Amino acid sequence: MKIGILALQGAFREHAAAFDALGVETVFVRLPHHLSGIDAIVLPGGESTTQDKLLDSSGLRAPLTAALDDGVACLATCAGLILLAAEVLDGRPDQRPLDRLDLRVRRNGYGRQVASFEAPLAVEGLDAPFTGVFIRAPRIEHVGESVEVLAEHAGDAVLVRAERIWGAVFHPELSADLRLHQLFVNHCP
């Protein structure tokens, strides 16, 4: 199995390190041809407004959307989840989410950088709590019917899944805990 990691901006190296530690092959995706032969793609955290623009300048927007529609699995974290959402509040007016997870999200919905925090999360499929690292995290304000909630924090969905597309508002790649990456790999077709 080979996992592509969108490497336009943000915390892509940390995801690569997590999959390396699990013995899973990764490739950085910066151009459309980097998508060929991948089974899954990671959309990392970072800055969704910047990533949104870079999707266009790299020529990746259409081929990435096509790959998702062709059955490539996806793990989207924080800004990556914003890219996949159906609706983004407090985004830039020209931000165009890919609409592949039926969610309404509010950018920076937990506050600014100073309001970043960690919290233990009970995750469906894991025996013991997983420490969620929330950094200027988006807040999920609405979850569509096609989306399953795998973890909540204070009543809000924070880890979700719609078949092979996973989204986390927190940063599993910053936890020194590989269990979420492993869970994702286990569920990849």
- Smallest gap from residue 127 Cβ to ligand GLN (A): 27
SS3 content of the chain, % helix, strand, coil (to 5): 30, 35, 40
Please say if 188 is a catalytic residue: no
Q: Take residue 59 and report the two structure tokens written for it.
A: 């020529």
| The one among 34, 43, 46, 98 contacting ligand GLN by CB under 6 A | 46
Handedness of CA 44, 50, 53, 54 (dihedral sign): negative
**CA distance linking residue 18 with residue 162, whole number of Å:** 23
Q: How many helices (H) and strands (E) does the chain have?
A: 5, 12
Residue 157 found at the interface with ligand GLN (CB under 6 A): no
Please state, in angstroms and as integers, the Cα–Cα distance from residue 132 to each residue in 65, 135, 152, 189, following that order. Answer: 28, 10, 10, 26
Query: Pattern 63-92, binding to ligand GLN, x per CB under 6 A?
Result: ---------------xx--x----------
Nearer to ligand GLN, 63 or 132 (CB): 132
Bridge-based pairing of strands 101-106 and 139-143 is antiparallel
- Smallest gap from residue 8 Cβ to ligand GLN (A): 12
The catalytically annotated residue of 15, 34, 153, 173 is 173
Residue numbers 122-141 binding ligand GLN by CB under 6 A: 135-136
Residue 45 found at the interface with ligand GLN (CB under 6 A): yes
Nearer to ligand GLN, 39 or 156 (CB): 156
Nearer to ligand GLN, 46 or 172 (CB): 46
Q: Which residues of 163-172 are buried (b: 16+ CB within 10 A; e: fewer)?
A: ebbbbbbbbb
Please say if 171 is a catalytic residue: yes
| Residues catalogued as catalytic | 78, 171, 173
Binding residues for ligand GLN, rule: CB under 6 A, are: 45-48, 78-79, 82, 107-108, 135-136
